[in-house]
Amino acid sequence: MFTIRLWGSKRLMRHEIHWPTAFALRIFRVPVGLACLWWLISRNILQFEVTPKGAADDRLRGRTPRVLIVMVVLISLVILYAAAGLAGLVPWRTTPGSTVASGAWLVLAGVVLVLGTRRIRAAEFATSRRNAYRFEVDAPVESDGVRGELLDVSVGGAAVRFPQGTLPPSGFVPLRLPGAAPVRLEVIRVTDETDGSQVASLRAADGDWDAYRVLSMWIFHTPAGALPDFPAGVPAAASLRGR
């Protein structure tokens, strides 16, 4: 039976299946399946550690994709409609057994979607990573006429240090990098330091391609004199420090 299935699959996939590899993967599925079954029975939690990253104590929760929210709402409406049918509130009539049998799969799908969205938003799965590589460079920056310090920058945002009270805890602020036009960035997190300063994480808004352009040009075509510690013509992207 396995040979017949491979023969048919190989022709459906235009002879792109390598038989020894497919056979090996088929065999390897056995111990993997047994390991998964043992975990379902024992529920043992594996413990592991990773190298700490910058801002590990200030992680951000994930954003639930809109498509998942729409699917949860649609499944909930269908389940309510089925319940209304069982209560005789809709014009159609079915037997309770058939409605429950088909509705069980809808309930299962709804539970999986709800658990998935909760996992995305869960604090234990939050992240402190920005959506691009960070270049650690020291440079003066400015926001609404107040001078601050650039800690790191990426094509999607920046980390800056300002005197306390300069930046709001949320919303958008203008940030001017040396030799570049001001960009409008969203305040993601603000942390007050003991020395009277505040460290803020800023991020370009989704779809703000002008902000991405300004940040990218500044990183890879840094204006002359913007970085005092760098030789002339060397961009910020050449920084050996990064995360």
* Nearest-angstrom CA–CA distance, 100 and 121: 31
Return the minimum-mean-pLDDT range out of 24-28, 83-87, 170-174, 235-239: 24-28
For residue 166, give the nearest of 139, 194, 192, 146 by alpha carbon.
146
Return the minimum-mean-pLDDT range out of 17-21, 82-86, 172-176, 224-228: 17-21
pLDDT for residue 172 is more than 90: yes
- pLDDT tens for each residue of 64-96: 778 888 888 888 888 888 888 777 787 777 777
Return the minimum-mean-pLDDT range out of 21-25, 184-188, 205-209: 21-25
Say what angle helices 66-86 and 96-121 make with each other, to 10 degrees: 160
- Both structure tokens of 61: 């929760």
Which residues have C-beta within 8 Å of that of residue 178, sequence separation ≥ 6?
Answer: 139, 140, 141, 223, 225, 226, 227
Strand partners for 146: 143
pLDDT for residue 183 is more than 90: yes
Most confident of 5-19, 98-112, 197-211: 197-211
The confidence band for 129, taking pLDDT boundaries of 50, 70 and 90, is: low
Mean pLDDT score of the chain? 79
55 DSSP 8-state letter: T
DSSP calls for 90-111? SS----HHHHHHHHHHHHHHHH
Percentage of the chain modeled with pLDDT above 90:
23
Contact between 211 and 185 under an 8 Å Cβ cutoff? The reply is: yes
So what's the pLDDT on residue 1? 65
The confidence band for 131, taking pLDDT boundaries of 50, 70 and 90, is: low
Which residues have C-beta within 8 Å of that of residue 200, sequence separation ≥ 6?
Answer: 159, 160, 161, 162, 167, 187, 188, 189, 190, 191
